Amino acid sequence: MKKVLITGAAGFLGSHLCDRFISEGYKVMGMDNFITGDKKNLRHLESNPNFEFIEHDVTQFIKIEGELDYILHFASPASPIDYLKIPIQTLKVGSLGTHNLLGLAKAKKARILIASTSEVYGDPLVHPQSEDYYGNVNTIGPRGVYDEAKRFQESITMAYHRFHGLETRIVRIFNTYGPRMRLNDGRVIPAFMGQALRGEDLTVFGDGMQTRSFCYVDDQVEGIYRLLLSDYAYPVNIGNPNEITIKDFAEEIIKLTGTAQKVVYKDLPVDDPMQRRPDITLAKKLLGWEPKTERAEGMKITFDYFKSLSKEELYKRDH
Ligand code: NAD
Ligand code: UDP
């Protein structure tokens, strides 16, 4: 059986990746320090003989006994309010954490895939964003801690590839959603759905004319899986090109949830990108991949998940 280490395993994407690799017949080792993740995302795997969990902060030296075939480095705060709250940890997990994992991959002769992001394009001046766009990032703005950590992560990964001949893969993930997102992580989908469930108005930031393109988690995981098994070392965008303004999206959520509440407008956060849509030509050509889940379908599954949470979770505030 091939063995894969997944960091950030107790988080949203990491836990779905654990499920996928187990269902493909891998032995999975999950690693997390729970800084933004939750034990309950892995509870269903606790008694699975092919799953093992290690509680560890990946910015500290990582010691693993035995062989490893693949590493997927997904540990990192991913929501703007998380990385604004823990900026130093965000910089460290993208830099020191990635360095540790690249070192581990080299020692184990394992292939490593790192989770990069559409945020490397910053507030993009090119639309849609293709992999050859270098981006427009404010290095010293509040979001810079995440964006620059991820840009450094890409650079050090390519350096290990070029200098040490390490087998590396880089996925640039665009806004992805689905069950197991943290209801109070501040990202727009859990924020709107939580507000609808609590009977609060939906908070649109700015005038709501900024756009995002939302990808359902199963599609994202399929793209990541294919990229890992491909032989392509350069960054690949994985996301859904179906773009919508945040204002229209709030109206969609109002219809979906049946809430009687309305939209209210709040200040736009600093450096909030005005537009974002992936150009997925490369993923289509290279991996034969494209998203399959319509937003209406994915949102319904996600809303059903949030509806199933306890009252305590619905009213819990981290921020
Ligand atoms: P998440 O917050 O749900 O999961 C991240 C996990 O990493 C958490 O369980 C957290 O506890 C863990 N973690 C953070 N720092 C750690 C450390 N130092 N040591 C060990 N574990 C640590 O976020 P997510 O949405 O699942 O994102 C996962 C990855 O995908 C991140 O690297 C993120 O940057 C990337 N990404 C996600 C999206 C998205 O839309 N979800 C978009 C672009 C990139
Ligand atoms: N947003 C909003 N209301 C909220 C949360 C977010 O209008 O309660 C906006 C946010 O300003 C951004 C978009 O929704 O323009 C997506 O935000 P998110 O934090 O989900 O992800 P981002 O793509 O900005 O990292």
User: Is the alpha carbon torsion for 206, 212, 218, 222 positive or negative?
Assistant: negative
Alpha-carbon distance 89 to 78, whole Å? 12
- Predicted confidence (pLDDT) per residue in 123-133, tens digit: 999 999 999 99
| Per-residue model confidence (pLDDT) at position 59 | 98
Cα of 69 vs centre of ligand 1, distance in Å, is 21
pLDDT tens for residues 262-299?
A: 999 999 999 999 999 999 999 999 999 999 999 999 99
What is the distance between the alpha carbons of residues 129 and 119, in angstroms, rounded to a whole number?
A: 11
**What are 122's strand-pairing partners?**
136
Q: Token digits for 265?
A: 């407008």
Tell me the C-alpha distance between 304 and 319, whole Å. 24
> What's the pLDDT at 97?
98
The ipTM, to two decimals, is 0.97
Helix axes 217-229, 12-23, angle to 10 degrees: 60
Does ligand 2 come within 6 angstroms of the Cβ of 202? Answer: no
| Number of other CB atoms surrounding residue 187 within 10 Å | 20
Mutate to test the pocket of ligand 2, among 188, 215, 276 (most ligand atoms within 8 A of CB): 188
What's the 105 CA to ligand 1 centre distance in angstroms? 19
Tell me which residues are annotated as active site: 146
Residue from 72, 75, 78 nearest 28 by CA: 72
Pocket test for ligand 1, best of 16, 18, 36 (most atoms within 8 A of CB): 36
Q: How far apart are the first and last CA of the chain?
A: 42
Residue 203 in contact with ligand 2 by CB distance below 6 A: yes
**Quick check: pTM over 0.95?**
yes
- Is 205 close to ligand 2, i.e. is its CB under 6 Å away? yes
